[in-house]
Structure 1
């Protein structure tokens, strides 16, 4: 392993509800602070994955507590609560976890492929701030390759099951006729856009009004899909008129509360956000049906059963890619020795002891030295044990120079 061991520490839907996860969700500003503080204490490689179903910190560190402190210093939730609920994995177990997450095996809805896009964003954020090095870069690229192969060669992500699609199924369970229902969608980020397209495709309706804090984004999506849009200052009026309100915003506190949701008509409220962007207390209001991401994940059907049957195939693909990554890390451990051997041969050659009339200094540098180093690398990989590599390298170099 590189400097420090590879750890992941996190919480997810398995032991925490949406409310608790919301206390450990991180914003972009909090993420930036985590990376700044990490660099200050000498850490060089880490990233944080914060979604509606999980908050995880991955990194090379001396111990997991270091990563947990970095995370909890900036969250509403404290480290003691996190430690009671979290899982901590290191080295091989941590590698297994990140591959499983990337393949959708650890998603709240099995095979949910949206996690891959969220991981890409998280890693890119860290890389742009200089906190993704050779180890993490290679690891994440291998995870992406594994995830892509799982998606292409299995039916783990087959069918139409995701949190955004589960919202559609929930609406169908509550209403037999949706054609004339007014739908308001708050938030036009990735989840909001996916949900919007599912509404059109599966509910066969365009009676949808889009609202976003940045009105231009809502307007652009509305125009492209032939929908309506409204400004954020019209939120209360639009919500009052709506039959269904779906919230996919990324606010740090609820945007729908008893203050802006009047109980004058029956409504379905769906919260796709973490932390909660719809006040949970609204579930107690007469006529209101409220569902959050945990409620939606309980929806099960034939598609989900089909996905479960694909898990062994996905695991076999993951094992193959994990072995490839293990081979790469093994080779990385030999790099210091190989560099030392190469430098020693250059030092020997510079004294002129092995020059012949038939070969120039440049010839030997480019041919003999590299060939010897390559041979040493092969022997180190094949033997998997320490040995007198200097002596063998010198002997090979003397033989090739005669």
Structure 2
């Protein structure tokens, strides 16, 4: 017998860890490399997961999946991370159904970012979705969900001030430095790593007078391109130890999977130095903070930075939530119609079959003109009944799927 709504209907899940609950020394163990993500997608495909994309950033490592088996997700998550099952059980969270959908909306609209309103996560999620799509691991449900999510993101960005003013990791780093020092005029700054965060940090620091700023990158040409546009000096990665001998502030944002700055680089350092590690996994070797005169600040400590920009952004949270709820409900209406479409179509077909069968039985009594009029009249009546029944099913289905079973039994739709 046919069932129009599957008994094992897939559900949208989100499972992972984030900066809200997981400290950085644990969080870095859950950071997934591109090769790990590729392996995860290949394996989930063979296990029958309909849709999955993986978001792995400095502040979170999450699976977003549309499946009927969340247990598979847990197994794969633990298998491909560098953390233990005990750590996973202690720090992970899992959301399903409406809660997982709402979380994705809030994440893309900046409400769940380390820095409120930081919309860098949007490009990271878009890249993750595109990667999954290229690997044929994105189904129609997730594709449509992302369309609604991106429209919400655009409306929040346009109609609220939640992302106005600087409030990113780079902004937090510069703000911390400004709060630590009255002036930077006599400070030498070395910035190791010229990716998006490093480049933004350099540009923000240029707004404040400083003694000197030096850029270092594993790929020198990339550092040179930025240095030429900003009027800064570039040093080779081999000269890091030499540069640090008279440095006051070291900012590291190399984005590597392992440390790139080690204790050995501080052999000739005698002055006090502030170190900011803007990477997850951490790129400054643990233990360096024990050196005399060295203060190490990581991403979690930057989360405590408060300023007027963030205070202003918080005032926009209610309006952003209103916009999110609007698009979220529109998505749920789409899901509702998608789920109900088979049973509604079957109901319409069954009612019209009753109509045509009855007219067929009476044809010998009617003229061609009378048959034409009867078809027109009965079609109108049946459509009104069917439409009213459809609205009833939609309204009741929001609260209980039993209405579908009732309609199937009443009109024998399963036969």
Q: Which TM-score band (shorter chain)?
A: 0.7 to 0.9
Whole-angstrom CA distance in 2 between matches of 1:245 and 1:161: 21
**Change beyond 3 A, Cα 1:325–1:242:** same
Conserved? CA contact 2:250–2:275, under 8 Å: yes
Contact in 2 for aligned 1:338/1:377 (Cα 8 Å):
no
1:98 and 2:104 correspond: yes
In structure 2, how many angstroms separate the alpha carbons of the residues matched to 1:259 and 1:167? Answer: 25
Q: Which residue of 1 aligns with 2:212?
A: 207
CA 1:279–1:333: 2 relative to 1, 3 Å = same
Pick closer, same or farther for the CA change 1:382–1:230 going to 2, 3 Å: farther
Partner of 1:176: 182
Select the residue among 111, 127, 139 that pairs with 1:133.
139
Mean alpha-carbon deviation: is it higher for 118-127 or for 21-30? 118-127
Kindly indicate whether residue 295 of structure 2 is the aligned counterpart of residue 289 of structure 1: yes
In the other structure, the counterpart of 1:221 is 226
Shift of 1:341: 8.8
Uncovered stretches (5+) of structure 2, i.e. residues with no partner: 353-359, 361-367, 369-381, 395-402
Structure 1 window deviating more from structure 2 (212-221 vs 40-49): it is 212-221
Alpha-carbon shift at residue 92 of structure 1 (Å)? 0.6
Does the CA-based 8 Å contact 1:110-1:304 persist in structure 2?
yes
**Distance of aligned partners of 1:190 and 1:382 in 2 relative to their CA distance in 1, 3 Å threshold:** farther
Q: Distance in 1 between matches of 2:345 and 2:194?
A: 52
Higher Rg of the two aligned structures = 2
Deviation, 1:232, is: 2.6
Aligned to 1:148: 154
Greater CA deviation, 257-266 or 85-94? Answer: 257-266
Name whichever of 208-217 and 269-278 sits farther off. Answer: 208-217
Aligned pair count reads: 372
1:331–1:381: 8 Å Cα contact kept in structure 2? Answer: no
Show the counterpart of 1:162: 168
TM-score, normalised with respect to structure 2: 0.80
- Whole-angstrom distance in 1 between the partners of 2:276 and 2:339: 50
Match 2:261 to one of 246, 256, 260: 256
Of residues 20, 23, 31, the one that matches 2:26 is 20
Stretch of structure 1 that moved more, 210-219 or 318-327: 210-219
Distance 1:67 1:280 in 2: 31
After superposition, the C-alpha distances for 1:326-367 in whole angstroms (9 at most, x for unaligned) are 01111221344578799999xxxxxxx9xxx9xxxxxxxxxx
Match of 2:116 among 99, 110, 125: 110
Query: Does the alignment pair 1:236 with 2:236?
Result: no
Choose from 49, 60, 63 the match for 2:55. 49
Question: 2-side partners of 1:63 and 1:334: how far apart?
Answer: 22
The runs of 5 or more residues in structure 1 that have no matched partner are 346-352, 358-371, 392-402
Q: TM-score, normalised by structure 1?
A: 0.83
Q: Is the 8 A contact 1:21 1:54 kept in 2?
A: yes
The residue aligned with 1:349 is none
Structure 1's 240 and 93: CA in aligned 2 closer, same or farther, altered over 3 A?
Answer: same
**What's the offset of the Cα at 1:233?**
2.6
Of the structure 1 ranges 157-166 and 269-278, higher mean CA displacement relative to structure 2 is found in 157-166
Q: Find the counterpart in structure 2 of residue 275 from structure 1.
A: 281
1:382, CA displacement in angstroms? 6.1
Shift of 1:172: 1.0
User: Residue 280 of structure 1: SS of its match in structure 2?
Assistant: coil
Match of 2:65 in 1: 59
Equivalent-residue separation in structure 2 for 1:29 and 1:231 (angstroms):
28
Cα distance, 1:237 vs. partner? Answer: 2.5
Question: Aligned-pair distance for 1:171?
Answer: 0.9
Taking the aligned partners of 2:218 and 2:176, their CA distance within structure 1 comes to: 26
Q: What SS does structure 1 have at the residue aligned with 2:104?
A: helix
Question: Alignment RMSD, CA only?
Answer: 3.2
Structure 1: how far apart are the matches of 2:244 and 2:389? 70
In 1, the alpha carbon distance for the partners of 2:312 and 2:346 equals 54
Deviates more, 1:149-158 or 1:271-280: 149-158
CA distance in 2, matches of 1:198, 1:343: 65
Q: How far apart, in 2, do the equivalents of 1:41 and 1:197 lie?
A: 46
Question: Quick check: 1:242–1:267 contact (8 Å CA) kept in 2?
Answer: yes
Aligned to 2:365: none
- Cα deviation, 1:274-305, whole Å, max 9, x if unaligned, reads 01111231112111121111111101122222
Aligned residue for 2:113, secondary structure, equals: coil
Quote the residue 2:330 is aligned against. 324
- Provide closer, same or farther for how the CA distance between residues 194 and 17 of structure 1 changes in structure 2, counting only shifts above 3 A: same
